[in-house]
Every structure is written in C-alpha cells, then in structure tokens.
Amino acid sequence: MKNFLEKKYKLVVGTILGFMLVVSLLNAWNDSAIFDETAHIGAAYSYVTQQEIRLNPEHPPLIKDLAGLPLLFMDLNFDTSLPFWTGELKNKWDEGQWASGRHLLYEAGNDPDKIIFWSRFPIVILSIIFGLFIFKWGKELAGTLAGLIALTLYAFDPNILGHNHYVTTDLGIVAFMTFSFYFYFKFIKYPTWKNVALAGLFLGLLQLAKFSSIIAFPIFAFATVVYPFFTHMPADTKNKLSFRMKKLGEYIGKGAAAFALSIVLIWIAYFINTFNMTQETVGRVIDANFSPQTDNVLQIKTNQALHVLNNNAITRPMAEYSVGMGYVFRRVAGGNGAYFLGEVSSTAFPAYFPVVFLIKESIPALFLMLFALTLVAIRCASHCRKIFKGHSKIYPEISKYMRAHITEFSLFLFILLYTYVSITGNLNIGFRHLFPILPFIYLLTAKTVANFLRNNIYHHKSIASFEHNSPKALAIAKMEARENQKVRIFSVAFVLLFAYLIAGTVFAYPYYMS
C-alpha cells in the first residue's frame, strides 16, 4: 500500500479532486440560492460592471470580484436607476444590497439558475486549487502520505463540500488564510527578498478576502520577533547578542516590508473597485454606516477620520476599506441572534463552537484528530520529563524545536487563538466561522499520523535482513515483530477510519449542508 501511494500519488490526488469537482459542480447547479448569496451575487455583479463598492461593504471585494467575473460574459439586465443603487431605500445601502440581488436574480428578466451557477463556479475552482495546495503543503511537511491524508480530510469533510460552492466569503478566507500562512512562514524560514515579496502578496490577498483575517497578525508578529532568537548561529560568532539583535532587526524590517506591500495591494484592489465612486458617493456610504447623528463619540470620530480619507482621491480607496473594517468591528460588538440547544439569545453561548465542532465534524475525522493530539501530548510530556530530570537543557531543546518546527508550532498557536476568540466572541452564526482553523487541523493531524505510520508500521521491514544472522538478532527480530504486530492493528484501524470517512461522505450526497 505504501509503495502504491508513493508511486501513484498523482493518480490518487487526481481521483480525490475529481470526485470533489464533480460533486461540487452538481451541488452548484442543483442547490437554490442561500440567504447570503442574494446580497453577495448582486454586489459581485455591481463590482465588476460598475467599479463601485457601495453594496455589501462589510466584506472586502476579492471573493465577490472572482464570483462576478463569469457574469461579465452574460448579457444581464441591471437597472442602476432603482432605489437599491441610488440609496433611496429606508435603510439605504444595507437594505440596498439585498434589493440589488433580488433585482438581478428574480426581477430583471435574467435567468437566475445560470447566474447562480456561474457566480459559484470560481468558488468551486478555488476549492479545487486549495485542495491541491493542501496536498502540496502536507507533502512538504511529512512526505507524500501526509499530503494524501491532509487532502482526504479536506476533500471528504462534509462541511467543506456543503459550503465550497456558495458565493460567500467562507471558502475564500480558508484558502487565502492557508496560502498566507504558507508563504509567510516560508519567509520566516528563508528570509530572502523573493519570499518577502510572496509573503506580502498573499498577506494582501488574505486581507482582501475577509476583514476578520487580521486575527492572523498576532501569530505572524510572534514568529517574526521570536524566530530570530532561535536561528542557526555560526560557531565562530564572537558577539552572540549582537548577532541576535541584527537578526531581529532584519526580520522586523522585512516583515514590515511584507506588510507595506500588502497595504499597496489592498489600495490597488480598492482603487479598481471604487474607480467610478465619487467623493459624494463614498461620503454617503460613510454616513450610512457611521452616522454623525449620534451621541457615540467613537462613531463621530470614526466618521470624521473617514471623511478626511475621502477628501483626497489617493486615499479614497482606503476610506472605503476602513468603512468595511469598522463595520465588522461594530457587528461583532453588537452580536447576532442565535438558536442553540433549545435557547434563543442575542448574546453568544460559550459552549456553541465546541459543541458545534463535535456535532458537525465526522466521527472518523474526530478520532484521527484525537489520536494525533494524544501523540503530541505524549511527546511533549516526554520532552518535559527529560528537561525536568536534567537530561536536557531548556534553551537548547526549545531552540532546536523552534528551528525545525516553527511553522507547526505557529499553526497550533493560531488554532488556540482562533478557538479562544470564537468561544469568547459575540457571534454564533454557524460552524462555517470555524473554517479558518480546519486546514491547519488537517495538516497537523496528517503530519502526526503519517510520522506514526512511517516510524512504526513500516519499521518491521528494516529488520528482515537480520533475522537469520544470529540467535541474538533472531531474538531481537521476534521481539520487534511482536511490537509491530500491535502496530499493525493501528494500520487496520486507520484503513477502516478512512474508509468510514470516505464512504460516509459519498453516501451523504447531496445533503452535506444538513
């Protein structure tokens, strides 16, 4: 089996992604529009045809731009003289985004089925590219087997298949969060200017996918500041402190350059999407989202700052970006009504996301995650015991680990941070809000399981050549064979778990959302 996977992994990857593509396209065609898509599709079409971002400002434009591109090749009716565009509705722009979607899909004489399918098509393609990327990263972390395990966990997760064909920001933030982490930590490990540029590029794309992406910044900052203290130091270094400070300065400087590049990319994207927006139009959007007619001092100051940005054509795109960013902070602070375990509340339930995760993730995937977490806990306990007993020194052990595993450690930190923020936050809108941590859970689980299989299940083959050399070697071989017999039980268990995962997902078609 191992040799087959190593030699035929391209066929296996193609088969998995082929399944995912077919299922996703079928769902994209057969599923009716979900609630949020009405606003997103109408806004997407307005972005690519009008170069104005007055609708749905609470999200950056990248995902909607992708969704709107296929619609450019369709002869669609879209009347911008109606109140949803002119801002004459009661709630102005907020209500206008929903009215624009209803107009485009159902009121203007267009074919809603074709519009919905083709606007979903880029999201499906992005999910396939993302699956290939997960395999690539998993393969780099721990070999072909790890890549295949990570890809399988992703492609056969019913939650992913339930959402990867909708015009929302959920799949987009997952994909670009993962891309950004990959390229930023490539810069951390190898701080060349090429990697700085790639890190900045994908950091910008991440921020253009969803405003909540800023939650990744503390992890990036942590790695930028901490890793220089663990980088390899030449043996002939005379002044160790000076070397570390120089490295720290290099990383902070290059990290700042990557961030600056991301801001430039954001400005370019917003400049394109606001090309036809006048100062008056942007001003109305600002006032609609941050009304000056209030006793809230912070809101008044925000309104004034945004108008200062709007007064200059160069900074106007950043005014629109800031409107969306402020909208999200206000939305999170205000909370959202939710139903959970028989209760309805406008404030968050602390148990919401842990319970939803356990209910929504498939049983075999949960077993694999628990197994990986247990192995990591055992390994950490073993290292701590060595340090406590004095067999190892703390700094050399930590330094060695961080040099080799800064990426995995940072992914785990992000999972902890995002989980904490989700549990203590004030928005309970569904499992999809946990999506940003899923790829990292897949990758860490895949790496741990693959290493376990490699170090144990296939180990018995290495002693075969010693079996007949001597009585001592034979005794060792028999002892190891008994140990390997125990581990083979795990191999059968893994095969059954993956078969269960795949079969459960296949037979659940097409009801992945439920």
Amino acid 400: pLDDT: 81
Whole-number Cα distances in Å, 305 to 284, 313, 316 = 14, 15, 11
Note whether residue 433 is domain-resident: no
Buried b (16+ CB within 10 A) or exposed e, 99-120: bbbebbbeeeebebeebbbbbb
Closest to 441 (Cα-Cα) out of 499, 382, 371? 371
Amino acid 1: pLDDT: 60
Same domain, 326 and 467: no
- Percent above pLDDT 70 for the chain: 90
Amino acid 157: pLDDT: 96
Same domain, 6 and 150: yes
Widest distance between CA atoms in the chain: 92
Note whether residue 193 is domain-resident: no
Cβ burial, residue 401 (10 Å; 0-12/13-18/19+): middle
Note whether residue 121 is domain-resident: yes
pLDDT in tens, 224-238: 999 999 888 887 777
pLDDT bracket for residue 437 (50, 70, 90): very high
**Last-in-domain residue among 301, 319, 334:** 334
Average pLDDT over residues 101-128: 96
pLDDT in tens, 261-298: 999 999 999 999 999 999 998 998 888 888 888 888 88
Average pLDDT over residues 142-160: 95
Question: Whole-angstrom Cα distance, residue 23 to residue 72?
Answer: 25
Amino acid 466: pLDDT: 47
Identify the top-confidence range among 178-187, 241-250, 286-295.
Answer: 178-187
**Last-in-domain residue among 115, 144, 167:** 167
Handedness of CA 410, 415, 416, 418 (dihedral sign): positive
Note whether residue 100 is domain-resident: yes
Q: What is the CA radius of gyration of the chain?
A: 26
pLDDT bracket for residue 403 (50, 70, 90): confident
Where are the extended beta strands (E) located within 305-416? 338-340, 343-345
Examine the pLDDT at 342 and tell me if it is beyond 60.
Answer: yes
The DSSP output letter for 106 is I
Structural domain total, the chain = 3
Pair 5, 145: CB distance under 8 Å: yes
Same domain, 160 and 292: no
- Percent above pLDDT 90 for the chain: 61
What are the helix (H) ranges across 227-350? 240-273, 279-289, 297-310, 316-334
Pair 317, 270: CB distance under 8 Å: yes
Question: How close are the terminal C-alpha atoms of the chain, in Å?
Answer: 34
Average pLDDT over residues 402-416: 91
| pTM of the predicted protein model | 0.91
Question: Whole-angstrom Cα distance, residue 511 to residue 345?
Answer: 28
Average pLDDT over residues 79-107: 81
Note whether residue 387 is domain-resident: no
Same domain, 157 and 33: yes
pLDDT in tens, 446-460: 999 998 888 766 555
Domain that holds residue 301: 277-334
**Across-strand partners of 339?**
344
Average pLDDT over residues 293-319: 90
Note whether residue 347 is domain-resident: no
**How does DSSP assign 82-133, residue by residue?**
SHHHHT-STTHHHHHHHHHHHIIIIISS--HHHHHHHHHHHHHHHHHHHHHH
Cβ burial, residue 320 (10 Å; 0-12/13-18/19+): buried
Question: Whole-angstrom Cα distance, residue 332 to residue 354?
Answer: 19
Note whether residue 25 is domain-resident: yes
Question: Whole-angstrom Cα distance, residue 25 to residue 117?
Answer: 8
Examine the pLDDT at 468 and tell me if it is beyond 70.
Answer: no
Note whether residue 147 is domain-resident: yes
Look at strands 338-340 and 343-345 and give their pairing. antiparallel
Cβ burial, residue 81 (10 Å; 0-12/13-18/19+): exposed
Same domain, 154 and 285: no
Examine the pLDDT at 467 and tell me if it is beyond 80.
Answer: no
**Last-in-domain residue among 134, 152, 167:** 167
Same domain, 20 and 150: yes
**Across-strand partners of 345?**
338
Amino acid 45: pLDDT: 96
Q: For Cα atoms 336, 215, 180, give the angle at the middle one, nearest 5 degrees.
A: 125
